[in-house]
Amino acid sequence: MQYTPIKTDDDWSSELATRQKKSQNQFGQKPIIIFIFLGILFLGYLIIASDLKTSNISGSIDSIATSFNLQKPFYAVVIDAGSTGSRVLAFTFHKSLINGELILDKELFNEIKPGLSNFADNPNDAIIGLNELINKAKNVIPKSEQSKTPLTMKATAGLRLLRIDKANNLLDECKKFFNTTGFLVNNSSVSIMDGVDEGIFAWFTVNFLFNHLTPDNTKNTVAVLDLGGGSTQVTYTPDNNDIDKFQKNHLHTIYALNNNMTIYTHSHLGMGLMASRKSILIDYNFVNVNDNDDGIIEVRSECINPIIKTQWSYAGKKYLVMGPINATHKLIKAHTYAGIDENVPVVKFDECVKVVKQHIDTIKERPIGLKKHDIYLVSYYFDRAAEAGLIHHSDGGIISLGDFHRATIDACNYPNVEQPFACLDMTFIYILLNDCFGLDSSTKLNLYKKYKGHELSWALGAAFNLLQNDF
């Protein structure tokens, strides 16, 4: 920004120096008066431009203060130890000059695979990957601030599904390592996160980033559905007319950004995408399960295309997954410019749906009034929609559940060795959203992985919770 500095008395000409003292005092007061006048005009402009919304005004003032480096940064590091991988998110915040609330500035995201639960039999090996993630965080946080920066690791459904002794051994090794990192840690820095917290933190992240938690906008919060590898969460603010219909243990009052809100959240353990894939292939599969001499479990499933033969590992076990022996063929229009019909092996969709429903029907409590809300889907919901070409792989987008259903039928009709589980996974997601969660074909689904450069995950909500408890 260019500006003209105010001249001092020494800069004025000799003519001004001969003026009376009274006149000199009046000139000395003018810059102050002008500054105050311009300040009032500027605030008036902010009020008009912001449509009289206090949150927008404070945001504008904070932005100006940030541009002049008047804000003190705060940092937090969160490690998301998921069932399929571990991710580090290092956040930079500052406190608002107006109301003292935390404002998000930047974040670092980095990911490694496999998930922590894969090291259940060799806990020491888990530290190699965690050390890599910690070093990524150290690269963006000043060394002078690291001892004051809280570090936490929350393990999710992958560890919840492990035997307690194996999970505890993993956590103990991680705690020892965390004590050597130089970050601020305590006895609760490493833990298995409750599914309720996972749902609430993800809900907070999405609503915060999309500006639904300001005092002017709290009545417009959105529902957040998070599909992880081992569990799935449904979180939203119930309508006042419906609130008495919910089980009380799934209603929670939270205080977020100076607002008290009652939200519903339910975490369904075992209903994550990978846990469900395993159940659909094994627990509800009556075709052929054969444990061979190599320790690889051979599986044939109605939800897998007959031409597929692929290996898959989950929870320390290896599977050889194939379609049924007796293939069903169908005339399908080819994905070519010629558009001719081809006789290809297909998944018998109705048979696959029967198996998937057996798994999903174990969910006894269904969300009430969910489709009244704007729906935001994150994690594996986004990934599968992007792989199906329904949304841009980085920008995301909005589709209907009907769009997803049609893409599911296509995935089951067209053999795809590069995405061998596309039909199974998408059928599971569709039945979950339609049959279990009560969404219909016209329901709009907002699918995003990032918003304004920030990951849509529970980690941001956890970081806010961490800092607000400490400051």
In whole angstroms, give the CA distance from residue 69 to residue 314: 48
Q: What is the pLDDT of residues 349-394, one digit of tens each?
A: 999 999 999 999 999 999 999 999 999 999 999 999 999 999 999 9
Together in a domain, 256 and 175: no
Q: Which two tokens stand for residue 29?
A: 């007061």
- CB within 8 A of 279, min separation 6: which ones? 270, 359
| β-sheet bridge partners, residue 296 | 318
Residue % of the chain over a pLDDT of 90: 66
Q: What is the pLDDT of residues 13-49, one digit of tens each?
A: 333 333 344 444 443 455 554 554 455 445 545 544 5
To the question of whether residue 394 is assigned a binding role by annotation, the answer is no
Nearest to 352 by CA among 425, 403, 418: 425
pLDDT band at 123 (very low <50, low <70, confident <90, very high): very high
Together in a domain, 273 and 390: yes
**Domain range for 109:** 73-193
Together in a domain, 389 and 319: yes
Determine which one of 198, 302, 387, 455 is catalytic: 198
State yes or no: pLDDT of 407 exceeds 80: yes
State yes or no: pLDDT of 284 exceeds 80: no
Last residue of a domain, one of 148, 178, 193: 193
Together in a domain, 138 and 274: no
**Has residue 15 been placed in a domain?**
no
**Has residue 260 been placed in a domain?**
yes
Average pLDDT over residues 404-408: 98
**Has residue 12 been placed in a domain?**
no
**Has residue 115 been placed in a domain?**
yes
Together in a domain, 286 and 358: yes
State yes or no: pLDDT of 249 exceeds 60: yes
At residue 19, what are phi and psi to the nearest 5 degrees?
A: -70, 165
**Has residue 203 been placed in a domain?**
no
Based on the residue annotation, tell me whether 302 is a catalytic residue of this protein. Answer: no
Together in a domain, 86 and 183: yes
**Has residue 470 been placed in a domain?**
no
CATH number at residue 388: 3.30.420.150
To the question of whether residue 233 is assigned a binding role by annotation, the answer is yes
To the question of whether residue 457 is assigned a binding role by annotation, the answer is no
**Has residue 444 been placed in a domain?**
yes
335 or 130, which is more confident?
Answer: 130
In whole angstroms, give the CA distance from residue 167 to residue 234: 25
| β-sheet bridge partners, residue 59 | none
At residue 456, what are phi and psi to the nearest 5 degrees?
A: -90, 80
To the question of whether residue 316 is assigned a binding role by annotation, the answer is no
Together in a domain, 187 and 260: no
Average pLDDT over residues 227-245: 93
**Has residue 17 been placed in a domain?**
no
316 or 411, which is more confident?
Answer: 411
In whole angstroms, give the CA distance from residue 218 to residue 468: 19
CATH number at residue 78: 3.30.420.40
Together in a domain, 165 and 250: no
Together in a domain, 227 and 280: yes
Together in a domain, 117 and 229: no
To the question of whether residue 237 is assigned a binding role by annotation, the answer is no
Q: How many domains does the chain have?
A: 2
Q: What is the pLDDT of residue 256?
A: 79
pTM of the model: 0.83
In whole angstroms, give the CA distance from residue 200 to residue 266: 9
Q: Which two tokens stand for residue 294?
A: 């190599």
* Side chain identity, residue 309: K
Query: Parallel, antiparallel, or unpaired for β 375-379 and 223-227?
Result: parallel
Together in a domain, 144 and 249: no
